[in-house]
Amino acid sequence: MINKRFLVINLFLLTSIAFFAQRDKVENLPSFDKRKLHYGFYLGINKNDYKISLNDIGTVPNPNIIIQPTTGFNVGLIADFRLHKNINVRFEPGLITNAKEIYFNYLSPAKDSVREVSSTYLHLPFILKFSSDRYKNIRPYVLAGISYNYNFSSNEDNQDDNAAGQFRLKTSNFMYEVGVGIDLYLYFFKFSPSIRGIFAINNEIKYDKDPNSRWTAPINYLGTRAVFITFAFE
């Protein structure tokens, strides 16, 4: 489960940055938002978990599965097109890396009860950004969008499955995302920290060939739920 302290600390960070930025009396980059099209890049970290729903089946009554996420990294490019003075559409292609451990606590022996899942995604989101009017050198915003995610590490086409120690996921996945952030107008560029949640639309698990598999048969749905902290430079 995503650590609540991870969210609280980063929300506090965004608030603190905004407070100090608005103290600057000189308006930086006064014509920046008049551009129809501009580019940038972003760096960030992510906490990537899975939402999971389970079935009770005869071979595995009351299954108990726990996901242990770790912190990953994301990097990418930005193309921003202004639709309106307060609305922009953005394309933010990037790469995401993360790792998780899945514990099938009902299985024995212990060596069969853990699967390590390391993933690298090509992340292709289309985002609508809704901004407030600018106040001095800050401009809060909210965003929402959808994305296509190509999982390079899915092993979907691997003939081995959990019986051979291989946990498989689907290669192509779709997500929706929502978030908040703050544009900070600095002397040479715009710096935009943001926090967003990303949630899978489709079921990402690739089921084992055996319909009664002890690993995949109890899983009705497995989908990404992640928190991204992103630092954009435009």
Taking residues 5-20, report their average pLDDT: 55
Q: Rounded to 5 degrees, what are φ and ψ at 20?
A: -75, -30
8: Cβ–Cβ under 8 A, 6 or more apart, which residues? none
Taking residues 125-143, report their average pLDDT: 93
pTM of the model: 0.83
Over 60: is that where the pLDDT of 45 sits? yes
Q: Please name which of 69, 48, 80 lies closest in space to residue 190, comparing C-alpha atoms.
A: 80
Over 60: is that where the pLDDT of 52 sits? yes
8 A C-beta contact, residue 216 and residue 61: no
Domains and CATH numbers, the chain: 4-233 (2.40.160.20)
Taking residues 67-77, report their average pLDDT: 92
| Tens digits of residue pLDDT in 147-159 | 999 999 999 888 8
Over 60: is that where the pLDDT of 82 sits? yes
Judged by average pLDDT, the poorest of 33-37, 109-113, 122-126, 143-147 is 109-113
Residue 44 or residue 110, greater confidence: 44
8 A C-beta contact, residue 106 and residue 60: yes
Residue 222 or residue 64, greater confidence: 222
